[in-house]
């Protein structure tokens, strides 16, 4: 067990996993996350998020600087490596994440709890847009899965996509049922 609790985040877990493979610099970590399509499960939309998370992991003693170098006029490159405490913390986090449902706060349930703020007809229109977005997401996941299969990627490296697909299929079915209830008047309200 780690000596003290550390703040877990999906991106922190992914960075520690990459450093479990080998020491590397932040830019390489960001590249690998994109190449391996892990940007579908961790948010690296903000370029600085990897650097900020690495700074926190460094402060917490979960990673350390292996070396710093500069090539020509390029910015300084820092290579990070996992510490013993970082490895222990990573394994503890993974065990917890696999065994214990997290108390997460996604946006969609908040919007559902706020339905009376909008007219029913607008809610139906917005939910129909969500249906289209979910159908597109499913198409993307299926395309990516087929492409990975064609490249011989083992299922072990695709299980998160299986999970994302199952969640999207379930949500799609539920949203379609909600739209039908709204259209048929089984669910309604007055603003």
| Confidence tier at 2 by pLDDT (50, 70, 90) | very low
- Please tell me the distance from the alpha carbon of residue 64 to that of residue 20, in angstroms, as a whole number: 12
- The rounded distance, in Å, linking the Cα atoms of 108 and 54 is 30
Within 13 Å, how many C-alpha atoms sit on residue 41's CB side? 21
pLDDT at 168 over 50: yes
- Neighbour tally for 158: CB within 10 Å: 17
What's the pLDDT tens digit per position in 40-80? 999 998 879 999 999 999 999 999 999 998 777 777 889 99
Q: What is the pLDDT of residues 139-164, one digit of tens each?
A: 999 999 999 999 999 999 999 999 99
Average pLDDT over the chain reads 94
Mean pLDDT in residue range 111-134: 97
Percent of the chain at pLDDT > 90 equals 89
Residue written as token pair 């990897």: 50
CA 86 to CA 92: how far, in whole Å? Answer: 10
Instruction: Enter the pTM of the model.
Output: 0.85
Decide: 82 and 73 in contact? Cβ < 8 Å: no
Mean predicted confidence (pLDDT) in 85-104 = 96
Structure tokens of 125?
Answer: 């229109």
């Amino acid at each position: 067990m780690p000596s003290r609790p550390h703040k877990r985040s999906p991106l922190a877990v992914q960075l520690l996993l990459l450093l479990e493979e080998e020491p590397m610099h932040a830019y390489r970590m960001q590249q690998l996350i994109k190449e391996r399509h892990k940007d579908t499960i961790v948010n690296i939309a903000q370029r600085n998020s990897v650097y900020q998370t690495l700074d926190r992991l460094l402060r917490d003693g979960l990673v350390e600087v292996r070396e710093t170098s500069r090539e020509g006029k390029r910015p300084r490159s820092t290579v990070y490596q996992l510490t013993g405490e970082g490895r222990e913390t990573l394994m503890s986090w993974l065990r917890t994440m696999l065994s214990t449902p997290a108390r997460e706060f996604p946006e969609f349930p908040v919007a559902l709890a706020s339905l009376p703020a909008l007219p029913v007809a607008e809610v139906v229109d917005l939910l129909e847009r969500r249906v289209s977005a979910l159908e597109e997401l499913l198409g993307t996941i299926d395309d990516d899965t087929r492409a990975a299969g064609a490249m011989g990627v083992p299922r072990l490296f695709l299980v998160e996509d299986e999970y994302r697909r199952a969640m999207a299929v379930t949500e799609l079915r539920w949203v379609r049922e909600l739209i039908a209830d709204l259209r048929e008047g089984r669910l309604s309200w007055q603003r």
